[in-house]
Structure 1
């Protein structure tokens, strides 16, 4: 495993991190809680030390699972959680009011069974709350010792510049993969220039870049609606995406690796990316994801993937 220092902190995070959205058991199909706990422990055993979660994942369920899994190994992991997005049935509600932020953090600490969150992140912007009000409350909570460092997720360049004028942040969590690279134009250069970490998510595009889907899946079942967030599964995008997956699988075969490992390795070796967050539903997937940091694609392979990615993205319907 490779580890990368986040500037201005005492944190060294693994190049591959563990995303826990699936453990909420309401978006990526049915998951078994015990297998989720085993996957988290296997990820840590394999060298992954960054675990990213959020109250919105299963209305707090993912945080509870993480809390159970890290008992006895808290000192081996860096916990990142979030505020400002909560569940109202199937709806995701954005609320960065001071009262909601405090409630979110206190509930997160209780579910995770920890005293302090290492990286606390604004999950999504809230257009109905002044950012200044949110930041003021976050600063109070930091001074109270309830979290160590502040980060943000899904912020554009204007919001990044605004929050940087209000307080210190250490990271941005954007979506980034071979199928979604819009942050390369403005956001990544800004992060590099300002020495901020990029904790990217969606590394496998909801699992499609793993190559495990040999035909377009039906996500109409209970607790399975990943295609509503990842448009790569749409009928009009399916054949295009398969052309990229064919190249990934050819490169994987040449390196005796899996398609998922190739897609992850490409991401963690892109300029500006600190950590690529990847989900794992079981021990095997967790170990496989961690292994993506144990080899290096050649410059030629990296360029082939980047060029094919450029070709495919320009044709995708991402609405």
Structure 2
């Protein structure tokens, strides 16, 4: 595994991280507790030390499973979770300062830890001034509840605002061959020493080559988040998959590994790749050491929609 600094801190994170949304069991089809725990532990065995979760993943289920999986191995983990999505008859954004301590304490209890390494604002809350949120989070940070602060799903102006008002070490946005919007953030991230964590590096599994349309499992709802499984985006996605499969055959690797390696070719970038089995996480880990040529990089650039 290859590691890099988290922002400008002394903390080193694996360039491939484990995303745990699938372990929530509410969006990605079924996954047993045994599978989820084995997957987290397999990631640690492979040198993946960045484990990213959130209260919103299965209404806390993913956090609970991660907490169980890392028992006895806490010192091997850079543990990242999020704040700002609450379930009250439905999921809503809430970064009101008076709610943050309670949200974070609930996560710490589910994770069975006293502090998390990276706490991230999950989504912006347009009803709450960002400065108010950051002020309260700084208080919680000083109290030892978390080590570093990150943001997620922030556009360029909001990231600039966050950096002007607080110490932010990372930004986590969707980034893959099918979603390149975060490239607009890269110059700022490089100047300010902010790590870009790209989630969805496999575009919800589309870039593995496994799918040619909608997932068949009854309880798989990833299509509600990722648009690539149906038109008008499916055609572009499938052309990208075909290019990945061709390039992967030529290199003797898997399409998923090529897709992850493509995101890692960009400086200051970490790829968060979800997994539901130890086999998947072992495959994803290998992508960290795969270097693509300029020609391969260019050949995999997303095709335009028809």
TM-score bucket (shorter structure): over 0.9
Q: Map 1:182-193 to 2 at 5 A.
A: 182-185=181-184, 187-193=185-191
Q: Which residue of 2 aligns with 1:315?
A: 305
Matched, 1:172 2:171: yes
- TM superposition shift of 1:220: 7.6
Could you say which residue in structure 1 is the equivalent of 2:57? 57
Specify the alignment match of 1:114 in structure 2. Answer: 113
**Contact in 2 for aligned 1:219/1:225 (Cα 8 Å):** no
Q: Does the CA-based 8 Å contact 1:85-1:124 persist in structure 2?
A: yes
Corresponding position of 2:95: 96
Deviation by residue 1:83-116 (Cα, 9 ceiling, x = unmatched): 0012345x32100011221111101111101111
1:187-231 deviation digits (Å, cap 9, x = unpaired) = 111111111111110100000000011x32246823x21111100
Q: Is the 8 A contact 2:214 2:230 kept in 1?
A: no
What displacement does 1:77 show?
A: 0.7
Partner of 1:235: 231
Asked whether 1:268 is paired with 2:282, we answer no
Q: How do residues 121-132 of structure 1 correspond to structure 2 at under 5 angstroms?
A: 121-132=120-131
Local SS of the residue matching 1:111: helix
Provide the rounded CA distance (Å) in 2 between the counterparts of 1:88 and 1:254. Answer: 50
| Secondary structure of the corresponding residue to residue 167 of structure 2 | coil
Unpaired runs of 5+ in structure 2?
Answer: none
1:8-19 superposed matches below 5 A? 8-19=8-19
Alignment check: 8 A CA contact 2:235 2:305 kept: no
Alignment of 1:29-68 (within 5 A): 29-68=29-68
How far is 1:298 from its partner? 2.0
User: Which TM-score applies when normalising by structure 2?
Assistant: 0.96
Note if contact 1:38-1:282 (Cα within 8 Å) is conserved in structure 2: yes
Alpha-carbon distance in 2 for matches of 1:279, 1:295:
18
Please identify runs of 4+ aligned residues in structure 1 that moved more than 3 A: none
Comparing 61-70 with 264-273, which one deviates more in the overlay? 264-273
Whether 1:292 aligns to 2:290 is no
* Contact 2:174–2:201, Cα closer than 8 Å, also in 1: yes
What does residue 216 of structure 1 align with? 213
Distance 1:61 1:253 in 2: 37
Greater shift, 150-159 or 295-304, is seen at 295-304
Which of 269, 277, 283 is 1:282 aligned to? 277
CA-to-aligned-CA distance 1:229-262 (integer Å, 9 cap, x gap): 1001113322321111111011111111111001
Please say if residues 39 and 281 of structure 1, whose CA atoms lie closer than 8 Å, have aligned partners that are also in contact: yes
* Matched-pair contact (CA < 8 Å) for 1:53–1:81: yes
Supply the RMSD in Å over aligned alpha carbons.
1.4
Give the TM-score normalised by the residue count of structure 1: 0.93
User: Matched residues in 1 for 2:159 and 2:75: separation?
Assistant: 31
How far apart in 2 are the matches of 1:262 and 1:233? 20
Q: Match for residue 251 of structure 2?
A: 255
Q: Give CA-to-partner distance per residue, 1:238-288, whole Å, 9 cap, x none.
A: 232111111101111111111100100111112341x10001100100100
Q: Return the alpha-carbon distance in structure 2 between the equivalents of residues 190 and 301 of structure 1.
A: 26
How many matched pairs?
306
